[in-house]
């Protein structure tokens, strides 16, 4: 399969793709992860065929294996042949999108030309020859005799295949992020295995609910455009400089329900409670989704969450998104992302590289002796490294840190403040620990010469049910802190307007006089034209908050299932927003 990748790579280089020899070799190496995953699937099927032949004596096992082998060769050659042609046009590896076109004969005819057929047959022949050569080489090895002993070995081999299938022993299962390693997207795409990609994307798409349209496309667009008017150039200037150094801290599961709250008489977040009095604090801020991957897309790309999917799990879609990092490159900002766990988890790595992050630091960049948490390194170790690196980072920069200690199983190095072992207590202990590490980091930065030019944005990736044990879909679960603080912020104030993670991009970039035009769903909170609302998505539903109240809609029941007050924006606006988001996601 690596030989097929090699040929595919040369074909694309001949068709104007550029890659250095070092990156090319790295792509071959990283691609082995996915090759082994596919080998795992194919070996399981082969083992089952052999066992069937052992149990059912009337089956000609040699013919079955031969048929299976040549079928795999034919399948791989076909996929690689089609992929070699489509990549030149689409710019991403083949996935189930291809079958959507095949289902529509009129659409298929538009991109199938006589030249494409000729090239496909040529590429197909090359890949067939490679496959047959490999099979002939394997056949020359010592033949395998099926005996009871070997049958037992095969039985043991089947469950062992789960290791290569899921990409090793780590917590993160195989996903595109396992093989993404570069800011050169072609290098990352080269490492992808096309058959694995088809299987992966098909499974992801099955998770998506088919959400019916609430109105015509024109009606939805009219409502959406009215809701999100292009903001005027007028805005309140709250940054002391248009070129601050930026530290973005994303806190795992930090629900706003912990702010100014006590648990059994003890303050949960004493440091964040103090910090929010120094800077601009968004009192009615909400997460767009309920998972970290959805939160990252909302914060970095201003892309609203989907009810039953996440755009960063679709690399071909995610690579089309704008990002804060891409826009800041206009002013020569260097970007870095710090995470104490495995950055390959939930396709985060592929998303971040596609978002033009210059440098990614994860658990493998820390000393192995510090892997004392289930997910990697504890938050205080992460924040210490982030602080050390920030103090020597060349200006201008944007550095991002994503915490993890407040994620289950909530293992922390400090002694527990609360002794109970129920889920709520474990969570508040972990949040209290992260809050302590956060406070220490900010205090160190205050004492540094970098402070006066530093903008710190503190935000949660999503909310949570604890400590109030709220339901999975009510607004309190999605309530999060958003704070702009640091020496570069010119005032201390509390903003009462409803806002979302998706508004971070426009609000920040407008202050820096950088275009936020690519961020379709983002608003400048300080603009006179700001439409104050927050939208969120949960498992097959959506919620909406504005100054009049809130509404919760279920896609299963196809109706609003809960509401309080009278929302300023009518049902039509809420449904239009959801429809536009879903259509945009589907068509990317």
pLDDT band at 58 (very low <50, low <70, confident <90, very high): confident
The Cα–Cα gap between 116 and 122 comes to 10
Residue found under tokens 């339901």: 471
Name the binding residues.
252, 292, 407, 461-462
Which positions are annotated as active-site residues? 292
**Taking 90 as the threshold, does the pLDDT of residue 136 lie above it?**
no
Q: What is the pLDDT of residues 208-258, one digit of tens each?
A: 656 668 899 999 999 999 888 765 566 789 999 999 999 999 999 999 999
CB 244 within 8 A of CB 456: no
3 state SS of 418: coil
Give mean pLDDT, residues 421-443. 96
pLDDT the model gives residue 100: 62
pLDDT-based confidence at residue 117 (cuts at 50, 70, 90): confident
Q: Which string of DSSP letters, residue by residue, matches 166-186?
A: TTSSSSSPS-GGGT---S-HH
- Residue 516's pLDDT is what? 93
Give the per-residue pLDDT at 361: 97
Point out which residues pair with 272 in neighbouring strands. none
Annotated binding-site ranges for substrate: 407
| Residue 299 burial (C-beta neighbours within 10 Å; 0-12, 13-18, 19+) | buried
- The fold of the 220-234+243-587 domain, in CATH, is Alkaline Phosphatase, subunit A (3.40.720)
Average pLDDT, the chain: 89
Tens of pLDDT, residue by residue over 246-298, are 999 999 999 999 999 999 999 999 999 999 999 999 999 999 999 999 999 99
Q: What are the tens digits of pLDDT across the range 158-209?
A: 888 889 898 888 777 888 888 998 888 899 999 999 999 988 888 777 666 5
For residue 233, the model assigns a pLDDT of: 66
What was the pLDDT predicted at 102? 62
Which of these ranges, 37-51, 316-330, 434-448, has the smallest mean pLDDT?
37-51
Going by pLDDT thresholds of 50, 70 and 90, the confidence category of residue 49 is confident
- 522, pLDDT greater than 90: yes
| CA gap 259, 464 in Å, rounded | 13
Whether the pLDDT of residue 110 is over 50: the answer is no
Span 488-506, pLDDT tens digits? 999 999 999 999 999 999 9
Contacting residues for 312 by C-beta, under 8 A, at least 6 apart = 293, 296, 297, 318, 346, 347, 348, 350, 351
Predicted local confidence at residue 234, as pLDDT: 67
pLDDT reading at 571 higher than 50: yes
In tens, the pLDDT along 532-552 reads 999 999 888 899 999 999 999
Cis before 83? omega within 30: no
Whether residue 107 is predicted with pLDDT greater than 50 in this model: the reply is no
pLDDT of residue 105: 46
* pLDDT tens-place string over residues 311-366: 998 888 999 999 999 999 999 999 999 999 999 887 899 999 999 999 999 999 99
- How much of the chain, in percent, has pLDDT values that exceed 90? 58
Domain with CATH 3.40.720.10 in the chain: 220-234+243-587
**In sequence order, which residues have a C-beta less than 8 Å from that of residue 57 and are 6 or more positions away?**
none
Annotated binding site for Mn(2+): 252, 292, 461-462
Interval 386-403 mean pLDDT: 98
Measured in residues, the chain has a length of: 588
pLDDT at residue 307, rounded to an integer: 87
Q: Check residue 302 and give its pLDDT.
A: 98
Q: Which residue in the block uniquely carries the two structure tokens 């400590």?
A: 467
Query: Is residue 120 pLDDT above 90, yes or no?
Result: no
Cα gap 425→422, rounded to integer Å: 6
Report for 104-118, 262-276, 302-316: range of highest mean pLDDT: 262-276
State the pLDDT at residue 2: 74
| Whether pLDDT at 155 is above 90 | no
Task: Specify the pTM.
Answer: 0.84
């Amino acid at each position: 399969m690596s030989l097929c990748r090699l040929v595919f790579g040369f074909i694309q280089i001949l068709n104007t793709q550029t890659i250095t020899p070092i990156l090319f070799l790295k792509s071959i190496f990283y691609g082995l992860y996915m090759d082994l995953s596919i080998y795992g699937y194919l070996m399981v099927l082969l083992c089952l065929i052999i066992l069937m032949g052992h149990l059912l004596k009337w089956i000609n096992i040699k013919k079955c294996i031969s048929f299976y082998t040549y079928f795999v060769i034919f399948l791989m050659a076909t996929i690689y042949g089609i992929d070699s042609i489509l990549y030149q046009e689409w710019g991403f590896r083949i996935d189930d999108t291809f079958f959507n076109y095949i289902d529509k004969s009129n659409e298929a005819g538009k991109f199938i030309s006589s030249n494409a057929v000729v090239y496909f047959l040529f590429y197909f022949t090359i890949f067939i020859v490679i496959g047959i050569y490999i099979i002939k080489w394997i056949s020359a090895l010592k033949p395998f005799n099926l005996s009871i002993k070997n049958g037992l070995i095969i039985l043991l081999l089947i469950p062992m295949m789960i290791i290569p299938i899921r990409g090793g022993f780590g917590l993160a299962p195989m996903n595109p992020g396992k093989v993404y390693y570069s800011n050169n997207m072609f290098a990352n795409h080269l490492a992808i295995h096309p058959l694995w990609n088809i299987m992966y994307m098909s499974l992801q798409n099955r998770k998506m609910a088919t959400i019916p349209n609430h109105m015509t496309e024109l009606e939805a667009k009219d409502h959406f455009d009215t809701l999100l008017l292009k903001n005027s150039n007028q805005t309140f200037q709250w940054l002391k400089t248009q070129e601050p150094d930026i530290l973005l801290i994303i806190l795992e599961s930090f629900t706003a329900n912990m702010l100014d709250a006590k648990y059994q008489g003890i303050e949960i977040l004493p440091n964040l409670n103090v910090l929010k009095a120094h800077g601009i604090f968004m009192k009615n801020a909400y997460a767009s989704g309920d998972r970290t991957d959805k939160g990252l897309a909302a914060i970095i790309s201003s892309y609203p969450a989907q009810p039953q999917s996440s755009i960063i799990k679709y690399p071909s879609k995610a690579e089309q998104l704008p990002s804060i990092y891409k826009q800041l490159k206009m002013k020569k900002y260097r970007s870095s992302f710090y995470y104490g766990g495995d950055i390959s988890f939930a396709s985060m790595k592929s998303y971040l590289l596609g978002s033009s992050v210059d440098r990614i630091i994860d658990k493998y960049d820390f000393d192995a002796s510090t892997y004392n948490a289930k997910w990697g390194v504890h938050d205080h170790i992460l924040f210490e490294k982030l602080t050390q690196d920030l103090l020597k980072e060349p200006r201008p920069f944007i550095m991002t840190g994503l915490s993890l200690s407040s994620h289950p199983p909530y293992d922390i190095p400090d002694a527990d403040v609360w002794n109970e072992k129920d889920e709520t207590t474990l969570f508040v202990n972990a949040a209290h620990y992260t809050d302590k590490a956060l406070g220490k980091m900010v205090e160190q930065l205050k004492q540094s010469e970098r402070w006066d030019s530093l903008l710190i944005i503190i935000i949660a990736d999503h909310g949570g049910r604890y400590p109030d044990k709220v339901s999975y879909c009510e607004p309190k679960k999605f309530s999060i802190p958003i704070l702009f603080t640091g020496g570069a912020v010119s005032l201390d104030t509390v903003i009462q307007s409803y806002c979302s993670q998706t508004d971070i991009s426009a609000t920040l970039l407008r202050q820096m006089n950088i275009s936020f035009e690519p961020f379709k769903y983002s608003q400048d909170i300080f603009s006179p034209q700001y439409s104050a609302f927050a939208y969120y998505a949960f498992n097959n539903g959506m919620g909406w908050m504005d100054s009049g109240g809130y509404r919760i809609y279920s896609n299963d029941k196809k109706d609003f299932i809960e509401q309080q007050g009278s929302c300023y924006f009518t049902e039509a606006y809420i449904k239009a927003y959801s429809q536009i988001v879903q259509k945009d996601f589907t068509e990317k």
